[in-house]
């Protein structure tokens, strides 16, 4: 009887050790930071976008076929309200190129919202601070897997005029909006 | 074949343990501390770990070990964001380990393979995340004892599945002190 118990315990222990060992080798958490290729200046009648291309990022290329989940997404950007009335800044993401604000609101994924801006105010948002404004993480996975997507910066109010740029001075590493992505990936 | 090899190794460890120590029934309490080493986690750095456990002998080489562990991942950096430092997660975990090799007072030394489950409560200020998940741990320890006192060292692999797929892994390298009640 004692022998039987021992066998069961040994089997359970072996399985548990195997699980840990297999997990260690086969998956992990990886981070990459991508930067847009320009700034976004949109109004309620003229829509601008920022094209993000992941295909030149080595971390994304290493894991694009075995991403299991998006652990986290952060933005670092500067929103500027170009009008004298207040606005609430928003970022949408889509694989598709849209030409109107209503198309974006109807079809793209809202990933950043609620950034209050007084008239003619500029606010910078660090990676850490962006947690407050981020939503719909779970739907971003399919966008990342496509390797390329568009970011739209608008305001929830109408009329509006906003500019989304990086937090640094022109020519610096942080000149453009940056996106930090943490993925869990592995076989 | 691989399973047989692992079973043989474990059996060998238990034989050595049985031959070099005397097992007694009983129970004890202990505290431990050490380092927590993240495995393939870009968003975590080496941190500290400490906690406590109760060791309950079920007779012979079988034992149970209810435990509490706190560990903190160190702050991390990424070459993609030079000059910036981001805080790691903090974890509180509660669980139970099954122990082979004996969990009561020991005279001499013993090896004790162990495996168990834990509820890991994670808090991460950077990700603005707080949540609990069931995870697993397994490893190997050694304990040197005399009378009611045992000094132990252990390595524990920790596996925490995450939402949507994938998992986080750590190796905890620990040292600790146990006190057994009623030991002579």
Residue A172: give its domain's CATH number: 2.60.120
Q: Rounded to whole angstroms, how far apart are CA atoms B121 and B74? A: 17
Q: Rounded to whole angstroms, how far apart are CA atoms B114 and B112? A: 6
A86-96 confidence digits (pLDDT tens): 999 999 999 99
Of A18, A29, A132, the CB nearest to B40: A29
Q: Rounded to whole angstroms, how far apart are CA atoms B81 and B161? A: 27
Q: Rounded to whole angstroms, how far apart are CA atoms A18 and A15? A: 5
Tell me how long chain B is: 184
**Residue A105 included in any domain:** yes
pTM of the model: 0.80
How many domains does chain B fold into? 1
How many domains does chain A fold into? 1
Which string of DSSP letters, residue by residue, matches A36-76?
-SS-EEEESSS---EEEE-TT-HHHHHHTTSEEEEEEEEEE
Among B118, B169, B110, B174, which Cα is nearest to B142's? B110
**Residue A11 included in any domain:** no
In this structure, are residues B56 and B178 in contact, taking their beta carbons and an 8 Å threshold? no
User: Is A5's pLDDT higher than 80?
Assistant: no
- Asked whether the beta carbons of residue B162 and residue A184 sit closer than 8 angstroms, the reply is yes
Q: Rounded to whole angstroms, how far apart are CA atoms B150 and B134? A: 30
Among B56, B132, B38, B133, which Cα is nearest to B96's? B56
In sequence order, the 6+-apart residues with CB closer than 8 A to the CB of A82 are A41, A120, A161, A162, A163
**Residue A143 included in any domain:** yes
Of B43, B44, B169, the CB nearest to A23: B169
Query: What tokens does A123 get?
Result: 């606010």
Residues of B in contact with A128 (CB under 8 A): 86, 125-126
Stretches in chain B below the pLDDT threshold 70: 1-24, 183-184
Q: Rounded to whole angstroms, how far apart are CA atoms B30 and B43? A: 31
More reliable by pLDDT, A140 or A48: A48
Domain residues for the domain of B171 are: 2-181
**Residue A59 included in any domain:** yes
A19-61 confidence digits (pLDDT tens): 555 554 578 999 988 887 778 999 999 999 988 888 888 888 8
pLDDT of residue A73: 87
The minimum CA-CA distance between B131 and chain A, rounded to whole Å, is 13
The minimum CA-CA distance between B29 and chain A, rounded to whole Å, is 23
Q: Is A167 on the interface with B (CB under 8 A)?
A: no
Residue B97: give its domain's CATH number: 2.40.160.20
Domain residues for the domain of A86 are: 28-186
Report the run of H or E that residue A6 belongs to, with start and end: helix A2-26
Tell me how long chain A is: 187
Q: Rounded to whole angstroms, how far apart are CA atoms B160 and B169? A: 6
Query: What tokens does A139 get?
Result: 């739907």
pLDDT of residue B1: 53
CB pairs under 8 A between A and B: 125
ipTM for the predicted complex comes to: 0.77
In this structure, are residues B47 and B168 in contact, taking their beta carbons and an 8 Å threshold? no
Residue of B nearest to A187 (CA): B166
Burial code (b: 16+ CB inside 10 Å, e: under 16) for B149-181 equals ebebebebbbbbbbeeebbbbbbbebebebebe
Among A68, A70, A71, which Cα is nearest to A187's? A68
pLDDT of residue A9: 58
Residues of B in contact with A29 (CB under 8 A): 40-44, 166, 168
Picking from B85, B95, B127, B160 by the largest number of A CB atoms within 10 A of its own CB, the best residue to mutate is: B127
User: Is A6's pLDDT higher than 90?
Assistant: no
Per-residue pLDDT, averaged over A129-142, amounts to 83
pLDDT of residue A142: 74
pLDDT of residue A89: 94
pLDDT of residue A173: 65
Report the run of H or E that residue B180 belongs to, with start and end: strand B167-181
Of B84, B116, B162, the CB nearest to A69: B162
The minimum CA-CA distance between A106 and chain B, rounded to whole Å, is 26
Q: Is B54 on the interface with A (CB under 8 A)?
A: no
Helices A2-26 & B2-20 angle (0-180, nearest 10): 120
**Residue A12 included in any domain:** no
Residue of B nearest to A17 (CA): B138
Q: Rounded to whole angstroms, how far apart are CA atoms B21 and B74? A: 38
Which string of DSSP letters, residue by residue, matches A81-124?
E-SSS-EEEEEEEESS---SHHHHHHHSEEEEEEEEE-TT-EEE
Q: Is A136 on the interface with B (CB under 8 A)?
A: no
Residues within 8 A of B (CB atoms), A 29-68 only: 29-33, 68
- Asked whether the beta carbons of residue A138 and residue B167 sit closer than 8 angstroms, the reply is no
pLDDT of residue A18: 59
């Amino acid at each position: 009887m004692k022998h039987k118990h021992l066998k069961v315990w040994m089997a359970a222990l072996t399985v548990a050790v195997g699980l840990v060992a297999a997990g260690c080798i086969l998956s992990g958490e990886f981070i990459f930071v991508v930067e847009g290729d320009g700034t976004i200046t949109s109004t309620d009648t003229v829509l601008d976008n920022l094209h993000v291309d992941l295909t030149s990022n080595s971390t994304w290329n290493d894991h694009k076929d075995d991403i299991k989940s998006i652990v986290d997404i952060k933005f670092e950007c500067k929103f500027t309200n170009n009008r004298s009335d207040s606005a609430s800044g928003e970022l949408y993401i889509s694989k598709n190129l849209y030409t109107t604000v209503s198309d974006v609101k109807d079809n793209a994924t809202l990933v950043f919202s609620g950034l209050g801006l007084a008239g003619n105010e500029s606010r910078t948002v660090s990676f850490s601070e962006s947690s407050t404004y981020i939503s719909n993480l779970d739907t971003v996975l399919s966008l990342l897997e496509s390797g390329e997507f568009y970011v739209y910066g608008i305001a929830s109010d109408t009329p509006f005029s906003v500019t989304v740029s990086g937090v640094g001075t022109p020519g610096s590493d942080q000149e453009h909006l940056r996106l930090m992505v943490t993925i869990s990936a592995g076989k | 074949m691989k399973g047989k090899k692992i079973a043989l190794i474990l059996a060998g460890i238990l034989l050595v343990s049985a031959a070099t120590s005397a097992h007694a029934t009983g129970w004890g309490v202990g505290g431990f501390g050490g380092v927590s080493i993240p495995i393939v986690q870009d968003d975590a750095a080496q941190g500290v770990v400490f906690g406590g456990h109760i060791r309950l002998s079920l007779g012979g080489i079988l034992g149970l070990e209810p435990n509490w562990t706190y560990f903190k991942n160190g702050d991390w950096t990424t070459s993609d964001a030079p000059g910036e430092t981001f805080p790691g997660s903090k974890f509180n975990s509660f669980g139970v380990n099954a122990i082979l090799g004996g969990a009561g007072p020991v005279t001499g030394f013993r090896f004790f393979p162990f495996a168990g489950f834990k509820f890991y409560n994670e808090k991460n200020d950077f990700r603005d995340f707080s949540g609990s998940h069931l995870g697993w741990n397994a490893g190997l320890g050694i304990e040197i004892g005399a009378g009611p006192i045992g000094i132990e060292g252990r390595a524990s692999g920790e596996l925490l599945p995450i939402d949507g797929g994938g998992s986080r892994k750590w190796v905890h390298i620990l040292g600790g002190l146990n006190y057994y009640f009623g030991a002579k």
